[in-house]
Every structure is written in C-alpha cells, then in structure tokens.
Structure 1
Amino acid sequence: MATDRALLHFPVLSRADFLFFRLLGPGLGNLLFPMYRAFQAQRLEGGQLVFPQFFQWKPGPWLRREKDARAYGDLFRHRTPQEVLLHAKAVALRLSGHAERLRVQEGLGRHFHDLDAAHQATFKQWLVDHYRHREALMQELASISAQDICVHIRRGDFAAATTAAAQQGTMNYQIPDEWYVDAVRVARQSAPGARVRVFTDAHTLEPALMAALGADEVDASPNALHSMLRMSAHGTIVTSRSSFSLWAAYLGSGQAIVHRDFDLGRYMPDHAIRVIRC
C-alpha cells in the first residue's frame, strides 16, 4: 500500500501528453472536470495533486479563425521543476501500470454530477492562486458588483439553434439573440441599475444587439480563465449552452438564467446553482 505522500492524483487533459505541451484537447470548461475530480480526490485521500500541462495545440480553432485559439499556454504560472518532475512521474506510473500509486482522472465523467460542492471554494481559490495574472484579476474583480449582469454569448464552433439536437436540450448550440435580450430584461427586474457586461467568443457583435442588451462593456480578458473568473463574480449570469457558462455559475454565488429548453439536469444536479428559466 502506498503512503499518502506517494499517492499521486493525475488529471489527464489529453492522451497525447508530452509534459511541456499537449496535442489536441477540449476547451477550458471541459478540461476543468478531470482537474476538479483530481483536486477533490486529493483532499479526500491525501497524496499529491499533479499540476498538469495546460498548453495544448489544436488546429481546429486556427482553421476556423476563432477569437480564442484555445492553446491555454497563458493561463497559469510557470510550473516549478519539482512540479514538472511530479507530472513526469505520474506519466511513467500510468505507462507502467502501477495503479496502486496513482489516481487518474480523465474525461468529462458525469459532468457536475461527479463534483462535490464542498470543495467548490477551495478549488476556485486554487485557480486564482495559480493564475498567471492574479494581481490584475483581483483588481478587476473588485470593480464588479454582486448586482451586475454578465451575458455569455457563444458563437464560434457552436451550431445554429435551429437543428433538431438543439431542441433536445444538449450543449454546444447557439441561442437566438432575442432570448439574450429577454433574459437581460428578466435580470434587470431585480437589479435595475446593474451594469451589463458581455462575454463572447465572437469577433464582433451586431450594434443592434448590443443596444438591445443595454451593454456597458464587452469583456476584453487576456484569456479564457480570466473571463470565467470575471463572469463568476457577477450576481446574474445569462448563460450560453456551454460547460464554460456553467463553470462560471458553479464557481460563483449568483444566479444563472438558463434557456428554457436546455436540459440542465443532464449535466448538473438540482440545487448546484441558483437557476431561473427563461
């Protein structure tokens, strides 16, 4: 039996993991599922959490000329030599089959159903403490009121909402602009003086949409984690049909406005976040 110190909790973010970079890999929202599961397992079982390599290369976002290339090399501080060695040890243990000394977390699992909310605050603090631009982030968070509204509009690689799958309540489909306008109107009923910040992966948004939303600003965060943590500070998050939106709501303490056709229970247990259907 391995001692607590010898036990390693390894979040596998890509199968093609070369220590200093990874090939392919999902978006940040989906990467956080194995990360959180490894984090909570380390808290429960003891041992050491492996700080994985987040930098990845995937051609899709480049070919689609997306706003975010999703390389994630600028999210966290540089790892120490000891952290890189621990990562290398975890990879070696996995290849050698010494499962008794390694706890591997890989893939989406059952999304938020696998996550223990008891570790929510400490996991968020881990993200903040390891974030590369922590000081700038903290200054920006201080300027966000608990009454403020954030609107997350996903475009990019999301399919149009007119397809049959979009009506089945699954993720990764766009929501019509009119719904966002209605959702902001609902949010303003309880916070009439709130500022509205728009978070989007679109290069530009139509001026008419921005005017209808009453948007005060469009987020200009340097990377996806910065955006997610800023979103989590808002009192109301108007969500897209994405794990990114749900992570922002899960890490925050506000309410989430969710599209009425979105099957939230498929991804998240009841009462994990405060929800308003619209």
Structure 2
Amino acid sequence: MSSTLKLCMPHVSGRGAGLGNELIPWARSVVAGATLGVKVLPPAFGFNHRKYWRHFGTPRYDWLAHRAIEALLPRIDFTEADFYESEGNLTESIKIFSAKHRLDEREAWVITTQGMWGGYRHLIEAREHIKSTLYLSKFAFKNLLKINSRLNPDYITVGMHIRLGDFTSSSNIEDYKGKFNKSLPLQWYINIAKSLQAQLNDKVQFLIVTDGNLDQLKPLLDVCNAVTTIDIPDSDVSDMLALANSDLIVCSVSSYSAWAAFLSESPYLWFEPNLQKINGYYSIWGHEKGQKKENSFTNRNVKSSKLSNEAYSKGAPVPLNGILPINLGEQLLKSKMKKCMRQDLVNYGVVHIK
C-alpha cells in the first residue's frame, strides 16, 4: 500500500490563524510524521487571508485538498489527552497513539491535530525543523540581510515585539492577567528602553517589530531611536527570526513572540501583569490542566521558590515600571563579548596570549 495514503497534517478551520498559532499544530504534525515514517502536509495556508502560502510555496488552493483528504480517508485526531498518555514526551505519545489505534495494521488514514495546547516544551523535538523551515521560506533571507544591514554588530540588539493593530488594549492592569492577544502598554516598552540605556549606556540598539505605524510608535522612537521593519514587505517570517536572533527579546503577549523566544538562545522579558502567581511561582500557563499535570510548580529541578535578586531565568518577568533584573545588563555584555568576531579564530579573529 502506498505511503501516500498515510498522512499527518494540521487541521485548519475557519480562515486560518496568525503565524504563531499555525506553527503549533504544524510542529506537532512534523514530529508525528517523522515518528511514524509518513508524509506530513503543511497547514492549508491557501485558506489564510495573510497569504502565508507565498512564504512557504504551498498551493493556493491546498485547502480543497485538505478537505478532500479528511473526507475520504479515516481521520484520527491527536489531542491533548493523547499527548498525556506518556510522560510528556511527544514522540513517545505518538508511539502509544499509534499502538492504540493499530495504525501499522491499517491501510490508510490521516492523523490530524489542532489547537494550541501543550505549551512550547512539548514541541522541543520539532524546534530545529521549524527553525530551518522558517529560514528557507521565500522572503526570509533577503529580508534578514536588509535588517542586519541596519544594525551595528558591535552593539547589543534588543528586539521588541509590539502588537498594536489587531490586539485590544486596556487601561486596567488587572485585565492582562492570564490573557493573550492584548496590546501591551507602550509605556512598558518605553520604561524598559530607559532601564536598558541606563545599564548599557551607548552599547545598546533597539529593533522594533510591529504591526503598528510610526505615528503610534513615536513616543518610544523619541526615547530609543530604534530600527524598524515597517517598510519591509513580506516580513512575517523574517520579523520572527530577527526577534529570535536578538540578544534580548521584549515579548508581546502572543504566540508570535512566544515562538521567537522558543527558537532563540537569548533571554527574553515578559509583561509581569500578564503572569499568574501560583504556589509561589510566576507562570503563563499555570491555569492549564497540562502544566498542573506536569507538576511544574514542585518540579525537582527547582531548588527554591525564591530566586536571588541577582538571578533571572531565560524568561524574566518585568513590571510596568520597567525595572529589570539587577544583573541583566552585565550578563548581556558578557554574552555579547563571547560572540565578538574579533576574538573568534575561525572568523579571522585573534585571541590574547595569556
């Protein structure tokens, strides 16, 4: 029986979602396809009004094929409950799922998956594949060359993601707790910029990725004279990668920012009023059944519920006043020195003889 009759793919409903949302079930499908040795279809981008099909070279009317496949082949949906059949490992969950449904014994099927459940940790096995897919998208390389030409490689780059166009804002700080898809106060970004300038003096530059316009950003631009990508067309993918490549990411409360942080090795800042306090810890996902099931708040890797004032994790909560972890600037400078090409032998650099 031809393997083309056994498929994995994200289920897309409605008119599709933003890039961050689309990537989650796609990444899940990639792991499922690799585990089971079958073909993986990307999301039905042709149905998405944001025209992501242009970035990834998918057919304009792929949604028709998706609908036909789901109608003609036996469809089995891989859900959050299926994932937690294992100890939180996606590959093992897929194997258990396969055995449960006797997929090896069946001649034809399509596994679909949908939704944003599970957090990003459950996608760790797909991380490098998704990153390479983004880099190989149509406009990414050209756009990144343009962005990099605007930045000074000797400065610490702070990437800021600011959602203004399609998110609602609130004057009540409590409205942000546990909520996604809300436009964060521009003053938060301004306060962070001022704090970083105070810690780093003239060694910092800002890169703003936004769906807003220059007039909306003017109060922030007056403070930090940032580089923007507003004038660069087809920048959905390259903006995410530019954020991921920054030395520090200032996130919006969105799956787009979360992907940038997930794909990056750099630290990132999160809006503290959005986080929930649960059992002495901050959490984005603490209200969800999945994180409670994994017992994240009493994890054996956590030694203390109270971190030192000089300690911060990769993701650091920052309040509206923009007060940063006390040694963040120092750590950024040290990290930047390690990346300095003048001290990298294979980059025509030199190393001091001690």
TM over 0.5: yes
Superposed displacement of residue 9, structure 1: 0.9
User: Aligned pair in 2 of structure 1 residues 217, 164: CA closer, same or farther (>3 Å)?
Assistant: closer
Cα deviation 1:148-207 (Å, max 9, x = unaligned): 111111111212232476232311112212210222344453685132111111123343
Secondary structure of 1:74 counterpart:
helix
| Residues 28, 126 of structure 2: 8 Å contact kept | no
Moved over 4 A (4+): 2-6, 78-81, 140-146, 267-271
Cα distance in 1 for partners of 2:46, 2:2 equals: 31
Superposed displacement of residue 6, structure 1: 4.5
- Equivalent residue for 2:240, pick from 196, 209, 228: 228
Give 5+ residue unaligned stretches, structure 1: 16-23, 59-69
State the identity %. Answer: 22
Answering whether residue 278 of structure 2 is matched by residue 266 of structure 1, we say no
What does residue 80 of structure 2 align with? none
What does residue 35 of structure 2 align with? 44
| Residues 159, 249 of structure 2: 8 Å contact kept | yes
- Equivalent residue for 1:122, pick from 120, 125, 129: 129
Cα distance in 2 for partners of 1:44, 1:142 equals: 37
What does residue 198 of structure 1 align with? 208
- Equivalent residue for 2:55, pick from 75, 78, 86: 75
| Residues 148, 234 of structure 1: 8 Å contact kept | yes
Q: How does 1:134-213 map to 2 (within 5 A)?
A: 134-137=140-143, 139-140=145-146, 143=149, 145=153, 147-163=156-172, 166-188=175-197, 189=199, 192-204=202-214, 205-213=216-224
Answering whether residue 283 of structure 2 is matched by residue 275 of structure 1, we say no
Secondary structure of 2:159 counterpart:
strand
| Residues 197, 219 of structure 1: 8 Å contact kept | no
What does residue 325 of structure 2 align with? none
What does residue 112 of structure 2 align with? 104
Q: How high is the TM-score relative to the length of structure 2?
A: 0.61
| Residues 36, 123 of structure 1: 8 Å contact kept | yes
Q: How high is the TM-score relative to the length of structure 1?
A: 0.76
- Equivalent residue for 1:54, pick from 40, 45, 52: 45
What does residue 16 of structure 2 align with? 25
Give the partner amino acid of 2:183. Q
Give the partner amino acid of 2:6. L
Superposed displacement of residue 55, structure 1: 3.0
Cα deviation 1:23-62 (Å, max 9, x = unaligned): x22211111111111112222222111133313355xxxx
Answering whether residue 259 of structure 2 is matched by residue 252 of structure 1, we say no
| Residues 180, 254 of structure 2: 8 Å contact kept | yes
Cα deviation 1:227-270 (Å, max 9, x = unaligned): 11221111111111111111111112211111111225318977
- Aligned-residue Cα RMSD (Å) equals 3.3
Secondary structure of 1:261 counterpart:
helix
Answering whether residue 139 of structure 2 is matched by residue 133 of structure 1, we say yes
Superposed displacement of residue 71, structure 1: 3.6
Cα distance in 2 for partners of 1:199, 1:256 equals: 15
| Residues 209, 228 of structure 2: 8 Å contact kept | no
What does residue 242 of structure 1 align with? 254
User: Aligned pair in 2 of structure 1 residues 166, 4: CA closer, same or farther (>3 Å)?
Assistant: farther
User: Aligned pair in 2 of structure 1 residues 119, 173: CA closer, same or farther (>3 Å)?
Assistant: same
Cα distance in 1 for partners of 2:51, 2:58 equals: 15
Give 5+ residue unaligned stretches, structure 2: 76-102, 104-108, 276-282, 302-312, 319-354
Which deviates the most, 91-100 or 249-258? 91-100
User: Aligned pair in 2 of structure 1 residues 128, 97: CA closer, same or farther (>3 Å)?
Assistant: same
Which deviates the most, 180-189 or 229-238? 180-189
Instruction: Say which one has the larger Rg.
Output: 2
| Residues 213, 230 of structure 2: 8 Å contact kept | no
Cα distance in 2 for partners of 1:196, 1:51 equals: 33
Cα distance in 2 for partners of 1:197, 1:11 equals: 32
Cα distance in 2 for partners of 1:212, 1:142 equals: 21
What does residue 92 of structure 1 align with? 68
Give the partner amino acid of 1:9. C
Superposed displacement of residue 110, structure 1: 3.1
Cα distance in 2 for partners of 1:3, 1:74 equals: 30
User: Aligned pair in 2 of structure 1 residues 6, 173: CA closer, same or farther (>3 Å)?
Assistant: same
Secondary structure of 2:20 counterpart:
helix
| Residues 153, 201 of structure 1: 8 Å contact kept | yes
